[in-house]
Structure 1
Amino acid sequence: MSEEDPDLASRRIAHESLTRDDPTGWFENLYSAAADGAAVVPWDRGTANPLLTEWFEASEPNGTSKTAVVIGAGTGWDAELVADRGYQTTAFDISPTAVETAQRNHPDSQAQYVVADLFNQPAEWQHAFDLVVEIYTVQALPIALQATAIQKVGELVAPGGTLVVIASARAEGQPDAEVEGPPWPLTKATIRSFASAPDLRLIELDESPSPSNPTATRWRAEFLRD
């Protein structure tokens, strides 16, 4: 097992991809290194994100006969929570190693784990899902790509569907140049920009201390497509 700090390892691997003009390739590199014991995925806590768990507890959605998609599903903990709530769940990641790890971790899963690229998602996913879960994927992309990623996230939400976004927060006035990612945390304006997609409106936005770092905060936003 690597003794390198997980956050530093992920940044090093990301910067190596960025220097090759491959801003999404670092995900596979990181998951592959983690599978070999040479790195740790910083956001993989072995359980579903607490803010997503709290959202389910508060909202109590009924997933029966409904579809869901988990973006950047990683090793599958969030997808398992969604599937356990009755949703027919698609969980995708650009990293084949992440998908393989998720399938291995959850051999009896009701979720379908697939390799896919948010920027080149299958046409049949357009406005196809009753619940869309986006956790930390957009913030793991360079700021220049975030607007396009946000647009692609919104395209997945079906009419009448819900989008849940969880992300690290940053101060509204902090210049982009001062943010050394990954991650590249999202401003309130960036979170609100998910609602720039047609018929997608913000219905709740909360900011709370990070479960793992009380000095940092996290956004949890809920959107509804009319």
Structure 2
Amino acid sequence: MFEQQPQTLREKVQKLANQSLEQSDPSAWFDILYAEAQGDAGQVPWAKLSPHPVLESWLNDRAITPEGRSALVTGCGLGDDAETLAARGFEVTAFDISPTAIAWCRQRFPDSPVNYCVGDFFNLDPAWRGQFDLVEDCRNIQALPLNVRSQVIEAIAALVAPGGTLLIITRDRDNDSEPEGPPWPLSDAELAEFSQWGLAEIQRHEFFDGDNTIKQLRVEYRRSH
């Protein structure tokens, strides 16, 4: 997480994000960061080169039969969560707004069955609506400012198939005041917006990161048939 990175990298992330906000293009800074990393994952604050452990624990705790089931990883970064789902038997699509990140995924996993593609939360493929049995969003909503949050939540919710599951992994904040960022943790009121789009919260798991000081959530939602 950002707190575990050198101060200069945190400052770089904030500067890039603020520049994108000033240009009214809140996601433009991601590809700049990936490109300037020049293949060094240590220059990408969220790139752990391993799947998120709370995704793995969620998979391990459930008797999931993934064969023939589709999964989508939003804002997939360098691909580790997508590869984990593919290894479990899901038919996986993974997108990121950064062409550099997608090229990096293909380089890391040249024989991968994952369909890696460039995609934008604000202009997603209409053919994806309601098509995925499992959608995972790991720390993407929190990377976008509050003034576009409802739009992103609606876009993500629309991807979940009837009877499908949405898994959100995010930092949590305890009130509705505007936090400093990035990242901008999600409030309960923002998470509750998923219910407006036909998704019921099934389970909420709280955990901590960053020397056990940063409260985070894994929230599971399901769309009714």
TM-score, with length taken from structure 1: 0.92
Deviation of 1:57 after TM superposition, in Å, equals: 0.9
Q: C-alpha separation between the residues in 2 aligned to 1:43 and 1:134?
A: 13
* Count of aligned pairs between the two proteins: 220
Q: C-alpha separation between the residues in 2 aligned to 1:166 and 1:37?
A: 24
The match for 1:181 is 181
Deviation of 1:213 after TM superposition, in Å, equals: 3.2
1:89 maps to a residue whose letter is V
Kindly indicate whether residue 148 of structure 2 is the aligned counterpart of residue 148 of structure 1: no
Q: C-alpha separation between the residues in 1 aligned to 2:118 and 2:156?
A: 16
Deviation of 1:60 after TM superposition, in Å, equals: 3.4
Task: Answer yes or no: is the 8 Å Cα contact 1:47–1:77 preserved in 2.
Answer: yes
1:62 maps to a residue whose letter is T
The match for 1:221 is 219
The match for 2:194 is 194
Unpaired runs of at least 5, structure 2 = none
Aligned partner of residue 61 in structure 2, secondary structure: helix
Task: Answer yes or no: is the 8 Å Cα contact 1:31–1:98 preserved in 2.
Answer: yes
Counterpart selection for 2:10 from 7, 10, 15: 7
Structure 1 residues 188 and 171, CA, compared in 2 at 3 Å: closer, same or farther? same
The match for 2:90 is 87
Task: Answer yes or no: is the 8 Å Cα contact 2:41–2:47 preserved in 1.
Answer: no
Deviation of 1:123 after TM superposition, in Å, equals: 1.2
The match for 1:21 is 24
Pairwise CA RMSD: 1.8
Which runs of structure 1 show a deviation greater than 4 angstroms over 4 or more consecutive aligned residues?
36-39
Task: Answer yes or no: is the 8 Å Cα contact 1:30–1:39 preserved in 2.
Answer: no
TM-score, with length taken from structure 2: 0.92
Deviation of 1:3 after TM superposition, in Å, equals: 6.7
Q: C-alpha separation between the residues in 1 aligned to 2:49 and 2:11?
A: 20
The match for 1:107 is 110
Unpaired runs of at least 5, structure 1 = none
Structure 1 residues 151 and 47, CA, compared in 2 at 3 Å: closer, same or farther? same
Kindly indicate whether residue 153 of structure 2 is the aligned counterpart of residue 124 of structure 1: no
Cα shift readout 1:90-148 (whole Å, capped 9, x = no counterpart) = 00001100100011111121111000112211111010000000111111000111111
Deviation of 1:16 after TM superposition, in Å, equals: 1.7
